[in-house]
Amino acid sequence: MGGRPPLAARLLIGVSNSTIGDECEARYVVQTAKILVALAILVALPALALDDEDVSIEKVGRAYRIHMAFDVPATVDQIKSVLTDFTHPSRLSPAVTERQVLGHQDGVVRVRTEFRDCVVLFCKTMTLLHDVTVSANEVRADVVAEGSDFRSGFLRWSVNSIGNGNSHVVFGAVMEPDFFVPPLIGGFLVRNALRKQVLTTAENLVKEAPREPRAGDGGQ
């Protein structure tokens, strides 16, 4: 009467307990996965608005033409403050290793920037000498060929308020390198590397600009 249940019953009980245990474990895994996904979404929110489709890069002759547009949760002045922060070289791009202001004249700031990047096994440290001008809604840097690893080009950030402390940024650039780029690297691979750098810079601008102090409650 009080003996052990038959083998079939014992196996059924074992299977039942195992099934219940497996179901509980599966529910736990699903719930944990949902939490992790939610956390990942929250952490990645600033970057979700930017992806490869937001960047246009084309090779025209020896030059590369870049275009990108995106919104930033900051005022025009906050964004311009980050773009003209020459004292923290890698704030917007980890590829920048050094930045030095060489002089000011008639509203133009001459800046020397060094950066290093690699495309597959092709790595190079490059120097960019550029004249920076700032207007109400634009920060522009024009390449100075002498002393640069670039023959010609410019970088332009157009920034306009879209209300509620937010701004719309349009980045455009044309850069013609003054050094040899191997043909196998100069096309698809360089465009991919440039796309990555532009996205990284934009994501860092989205992150850094709101941290800048505002000129006032009625900032642009």
Reduce the secondary structure of the chain to three states and give it as a string. Answer: CCCCCCHHHHHHHHHHHHHHHHHHHHHHHHHHHHHHHHHHHHHHHHHHCCCHHHEEEEEECCEEEEEEEEEECCCHHHHHHHHCCCCCCCCCCCCEEEEEEEEEECCEEEEEEEEEEEECCEEEEEEEEEEEEEECCEEEEEECCCCCCEEEEEEEEEEEEEECCEEEEEEEEEEEECCCCCHHHHCHHHHHHHHHHHHHHHHHHHHHHHHCCCCCCCCC
Q: What is the mean pLDDT of residues 50-72?
A: 87
State residue 37's pLDDT score.
Answer: 34
Q: Is the pLDDT of residue 172 over 80?
A: yes
Of 70-79, 186-195, 209-218, the least confident: 186-195
**Whether residue 86 is found in the same domain as residue 30:** no
Q: What is the mean pLDDT of residues 26-31?
A: 44
Q: Which amino acid is at 149?
A: D
Q: Is the pLDDT of residue 135 over 90?
A: yes
How many Å apart are CA 19 and CA 23, to the nearest integer? 6
* Paired tokens of 4: 């052990």
Q: Is the pLDDT of residue 89 over 70?
A: yes
**Whether residue 56 is found in the same domain as residue 43:** no
**Whether residue 118 is found in the same domain as residue 202:** yes
State residue 179's pLDDT score.
Answer: 77
Q: Which amino acid is at 43?
A: V
pLDDT band at 124 (very low <50, low <70, confident <90, very high): confident
Q: What is the mean pLDDT of residues 192-218?
A: 87
Q: What is the mean pLDDT of residues 133-138?
A: 97
How many Å apart are CA 174 and CA 67, to the nearest integer? 9
* Contact by Cβ (8 Å): 83, 138: no
Instruction: Specify the higher pLDDT residue, 102 or 186.
Output: 102
pLDDT band at 168 (very low <50, low <70, confident <90, very high): very high
Is residue 217 one of the residues assigned to a domain?
no
Q: Is the pLDDT of residue 128 over 80?
A: yes
- Is the model's pTM score more than 0.85? no
Q: Is the pLDDT of residue 22 over 90?
A: no
Q: What is the mean pLDDT of the chain?
A: 79
Q: Which amino acid is at 34?
A: K
**Whether residue 31 is found in the same domain as residue 99:** no
Q: What is the CA radius of gyration of the chain?
A: 27
How many domains, the chain? 2
Instruction: Specify the higher pLDDT residue, 110 or 18.
Output: 110
How many Å apart are CA 200 and CA 94, to the nearest integer? 9
**Whether residue 153 is found in the same domain as residue 192:** yes
State residue 6's pLDDT score.
Answer: 53
Instruction: Specify the higher pLDDT residue, 55 or 216.
Output: 55
CATH code: domain of residue 92 = 3.30.530.20
Q: Is the pLDDT of residue 208 over 70?
A: yes
State residue 2's pLDDT score.
Answer: 54
Percent of the chain with pLDDT over 70: 69
Give the domain range for residue 115.
52-211
Question: Mean pLDDT: which of 18-22, 96-100, 138-142 is highest?
Answer: 138-142
Is residue 218 one of the residues assigned to a domain?
no
**Whether residue 34 is found in the same domain as residue 82:** no
